[in-house]
Amino acid sequence: MIRPTTFIEASRLERHLGVELLLASETFQQTGSFKFRAAYNLVSKVPQKLILTASSGNFGQAVALACKLLNKSCIVVMPSASARTKIAAVQEHGGLVEIIDVKQISRAARVAELAKEHPEAYVASAYDDPLVIEGNATLGRELSKLEGRVDCFLAPVGGGGLTSGIISGLRQCDSRIPVVGVEPQTANDAARSLKAGHIVRNEREPETLADGVRTVSLGDHNWKILQGGLQSIVEVPEAAIAEGVRLLFNFANLKAEPTGALAIAALLANPEQFKGKRVCAVISGANVDPELFSQLISGGDSKAAEDCRSPKPSEFRARE
Amino acid sequence: MIRPTTFIEASRLERHLGVELLLASETFQQTGSFKFRAAYNLVSKVPQKLILTASSGNFGQAVALACKLLNKSCIVVMPSASARTKIAAVQEHGGLVEIIDVKQISRAARVAELAKEHPEAYVASAYDDPLVIEGNATLGRELSKLEGRVDCFLAPVGGGGLTSGIISGLRQCDSRIPVVGVEPQTANDAARSLKAGHIVRNEREPETLADGVRTVSLGDHNWKILQGGLQSIVEVPEAAIAEGVRLLFNFANLKAEPTGALAIAALLANPEQFKGKRVCAVISGANVDPELFSQLISGGDSKAAEDCRSPKPSEFRARE
């Protein structure tokens, strides 16, 4: 059911960025993002027939499709700012969508209300659940086959479901290749958590172009793996995220959503950190509205490349 | 050097089009189109050190990269209407570009002039050359592995280099899976040729969104293979080409250039012909300017689906 990741060599992008680069694209995964790995594992393993979840969209549509395939049903709480294409996709798979204004009520609070109404349901976190991590570990196991061919993996960090899954899968296969996380500067709670040595929460859902990582904090299950498992986190400015989408389009012929371009943004933001390294960039998903995508690919050349650089070395090396 | 084609399952697109569909995408091939298969084979096998060619861009950049990799050089004659991204790519690989106004002089005429100036050069046709067909046959051999899994292949027809290559490669591997060509209605010389039983030429380079198939006629070498080898040709309206690009973007997360979307356009134009069939659509390339791409993906829903249908059954079954 789960499709293997698509490895893409991208010579032009590689030359542009000045690193040896391999893309591991989850954009052709079922429902257009890695989230299906987690959702299918979770929905197939819990006994409950109804799944409740909150999602900016990718986990929601993954759960909706998994439920359809496994004859279950789901209610997905989505913030009103979610990409329309993601809302439509959840509905297309038969998922029930509840749009909320996150300034009025948090996703978690609305899911808690729904859980009271539906005590028979399983409440699924998009990241903070061992079944989610186990599902995403399938990607880590695929990536472990690159042992000896890459020096590090770059992947986005929101709640930490993807990176904790990749680390778990790699370590299951005895691969020690380091994993570097990427966060928007405006949503850098994971970087702050690693510095503090405990989970640091954002006051509210952070604003960033990368709608897949607008999470309040890392999950507890994820934190246990990430605290010792992530090599470091790169914090990237918004301009680098936009430029990442544009470069993937122009130089790799790849459609990515802003969250999916975070790994490329990291190469733009901190080029010195990756100089001479063989990098595998995990492109997490591609579900983006055409209007936003058009804006992103039409920008670029006029923007100073400097806007993409991190203002100061913000890379943090976790204790290992 | 040649990258294998990327097979992509696209469930949402499949449901939208109502056929079983597999994409064989050449968009991640070196230089972003299948043309590198031909160019690399040709440049590596001819003894000449200088290659002259005419190309709307994809063959040009493929030859330029092949020359760079093989320590040769090239001059590429390109029509002024070529996608800017294609001109830039030829130059990036060290190819010398000559822009011509096709209303003043044909590509062939300008190449002939250059050939007189450079008698030591090899004049490479983008399609009408056994070395081109042999190069593209590598794709046919890859596709032959789908024996038993697909009922037909759909691929664009311009000069006929791609389809003659696919047919050659399939037959080399004893696969009899039929190949259906796709042409814009405004550039339907191949369909007319099959009907007439001999090559029919357009008076001038036809106008179509699909800039990769703006050729005056099929090549002689291609014709020999296509006359008996193509099962049929679907002629598609321009609206279907645009809609094909939009659908690939929205429902398959795939960036395709208009020519690359011709196979999808055929499914939109003649749905009855493919109903219940397992179709493999060859997505030939992805080199398209962001401005045009933005326009294409922003259109759509308002357009009547009827615009995408062929006005009358225009499918022609060649004698076999």
Alpha-carbon gap, residue B233 to B192, rounded angstroms:
10
Phi, psi for residue A177 in degrees, rounded to 5:
-60, 130
What number is the average pLDDT over the span A250-270? 97
* List of chain A residues whose C-beta atoms are within 8 Å of the C-beta of residue B287: 253
The CATH architecture that domain B6-33+130-316 belongs to is 3-Layer(aba) Sandwich (3.40)
What secondary structure does DSSP assign to chain B, as a single string?
Answer: -PPPPEEEE-HHHHHHHTSEEEEEE-TTSGGGBTHHHHHHHHHHHS--SEEEEE-SSHHHHHHHHHHHHTT-EEEEEEETTS-HHHHHHHHHTTPEEEEE-TTTS-HHHHHHHHHHH-TTSEEE-SSSSHHHHHHHHHHHHHHGGGTTT-SEEEEE-SSSHHHHHHHHHHHHTT----EEEEEEGGG-HHHHHHHHTS----SSPPP-S-GGG--SS--HHHHHHHHHHEEEEEEE-HHHHHHHHHHHHHHH-B---GGGGHHHHHHHH-HHHHTT-EEEEEE-B----HHHHHHHHH--TTS-GGGGS-SS---EEPP-
**A303 at interface of B, judged by CB pairs closer than 8 A:** no
What number is the average pLDDT over the span B284-312? 78
pLDDT on residue A203? 86
Task: Tell whether the model's pLDDT for residue A150 goes beyond 70.
Answer: yes
pLDDT on residue A181? 98
CA distance A247 to chain B (A): 11
A35-124 matches A6-33+130-316 in CATH topology: yes
Helix (H, G, I), strand (E, B) or coil at A236: strand
**B307 at interface of A, judged by CB pairs closer than 8 A:** no
* List of chain A residues whose C-beta atoms are within 8 Å of the C-beta of residue B252: 28
Across all residues in chain A, what is the average pLDDT? 92
Task: Tell whether the model's pLDDT for residue B313 goes beyond 50.
Answer: no
What number is the average pLDDT over the span B161-189? 97
- Chain A, 216 to 255: residues with Cβ < 8 Å from chain B are 246, 249-250, 252-255
More confident position, B230 or B305: B230
- Among A275-279, A313-317, B55-59, B92-96, the least confident range: A313-317
Domain limits, chain B = 6-33+130-316, 35-124
The CATH architecture that domain B35-124 belongs to is 3-Layer(aba) Sandwich (3.40)
* List of chain B residues whose C-beta atoms are within 8 Å of the C-beta of residue A84: none
- Buried b / exposed e over A263-299, threshold 16 CB at 10 Å, is bbbbbbbbbebbeebbbbbbbbbbbbbbebbbebbee
- Say if strands A278-283 and B6-9 run parallel, antiparallel, or are unpaired: unpaired
Question: For the purposes of burial, counting CB atoms within 10 Å of the CB of A180, is it exposed (0-12), middle (13-18) or buried (19 or more)?
Answer: buried
Nearest Cα residue in chain A from B90: A12
Task: Tell whether the model's pLDDT for residue B320 goes beyond 90.
Answer: no
**A207 at interface of B, judged by CB pairs closer than 8 A:** no
What number is the average pLDDT over the span A164-177? 97
* Interval A7-65: pLDDT, tens: 999 999 999 999 999 999 999 999 999 999 999 999 999 999 999 998 877 999 999 99
* List of chain A residues whose C-beta atoms are within 8 Å of the C-beta of residue B61: none
pLDDT on residue B82? 79
Structure confidence at residue B314 as a pLDDT band (50, 70, 90): very low
Alpha-carbon gap, residue B199 to B202, rounded angstroms:
10
**Which amino acid makes up residue A218?**
L
Helix (H, G, I), strand (E, B) or coil at A123: strand
Structure confidence at residue A274 as a pLDDT band (50, 70, 90): very high
CA distance A266 to chain B (A): 22
pTM (predicted TM-score): 0.92
Cross-chain CB nearest to A28 (options B92, B253, B293)? B253
